[in-house]
Amino acid sequence: MFKSAETNKNIIKIIICLFLLIILIYAAKLLLTIIQEKMYISELNQEKIYISELKKKYPYLSEYIDEVGKMSKIERKGLLLMVGIKDKVLSEETIKILKDNKIMGVILFSYNVQDEKQLKQLTSDLRKYVNPNMLISIDQEGGEVNRINFDKLKNISPKMIGDTNSYEYAYEVAYNKSKFLLDLGINMILGPLCDIPNDTNSYIYNRSFSTNAYKVSEMVKATVKAQRDAGIISVLKHFPGHGDTTVNSHNDFPSIDKSTNELLSKEFLPFKSAIEAGAEMVLVSHIKNKYIDDKYPASMSKKYLDILENDLGFEGVVITDDLVMTGTIDKGINFGINLTSNVYEKAEDMFKDVDADILSCARVLKIISENKLSRT
């Protein structure tokens, strides 16, 4: 009898302890929820203040800033991603990856292209099944770099154009090529090159218009003017300029150790000329410069964006060079478009921590909106 009573007491104690433990766990969860809600509200309030400040500073972006403010974090991040796909015929797998991650941009390579009919179908399907306003880009410089072998202008290199010394010819080639690409459903061209090779031995010599900064400036001005008139998005490359480097950034980080003032007097001249002509985007390369940022290459450093905005008057969007080309970059940026030739499922970890900047997203939306209008 005594043992039975003692056992009952122990059971009651255990039940009480379990009950108190459940209450404690519940209270802890409730407290955590309250803290998280307060943090979320605080974060929302901070974002509202930030958005208000952005709209005052950039009134011409006001409607786009408001639009970004209504987006989820994954939607914002998707605006700052441009990825390669493995398809010639768009697969359900690719559609799902792109849609699930709200990815707004795709870059096409030779392995995505078979013929005109196939390519038109691919770009049409991307807009039909993923996003009607998708940015579809390509490298189609002419000469050494081409992704479309049925381009009638593919053998005309920038060097050949520069050798003519003709602004009109540069405009004509760029305009016709832009219309050709737009007809295929491609609305963004990674060009023109603004690089100035230091001599004829440079690996970028035939891809550039000239070794003369002023000639390059005129040629890129004509090219951007033509591309804008045609209705395609221009991407200047490779900021801050590959011309004076000896290492190809596909292999390593090249370096160019010149001060900003030195660069403004030569390397930046074509970029400034093309920006003034209306270029919407600038591709930042994997170049290092100890006088600008002794830690990160241009593609990963906001200091180069500051130079573009403050010294060159740029109000568009920066886009990285291919982030997987060197094999040493393992993260993305939040202040511009992240370009990767890898299909997204292979690069997902690289972008998991990207917290997309509202201003950059608004600028992307503006470009998309204006490009959409130019094609209607």
For residues 317-354, one letter each, b for 16 or more C-beta atoms within 10 angstroms of the residue's C-beta and e for the rest, the string is bbbbbbbbbbeebeebbbbbbbbbbbbbeebeebbeeb
Whole-Å CA distances, 345 to 96, 113, 139, 299? 11, 21, 23, 22
Out of 151, 321, 322, 357, the active site residue is: 321
Please tell me the distance from the alpha carbon of residue 76 to that of residue 255, in angstroms, as a whole number.
32
> Which residues are 214's β-sheet partners?
none
Please give the helix or strand (H or E) that residue 189 lies within, else none.
strand 188-189
Here the tokens at position 105 are: 């941009």
Handedness of CA 334, 312, 248, 293 (dihedral sign): negative
Rounded Cα distance between 352 and 354, Å, is 6
Is 321 a catalytic site residue?
Answer: yes
Yes or no: say if 194 and 216 are a contact pair by the CB < 8 Å rule: yes
* Of 77, 124, 125, nearest in space to 335 by CA: 77
The DSSP annotation for 108-142 comes to E-GGG-S-HHHHHHHHHHHHHHT-TT-EEEE---B
* Cα 136 from Cα 212, distance rounded (Å): 32
3-state SS, residue 51? helix
3-state secondary structure of 376: coil
Count of Cβ atoms closer than 10 Å to residue 260 Cβ: 16
Catalytic residues: 321
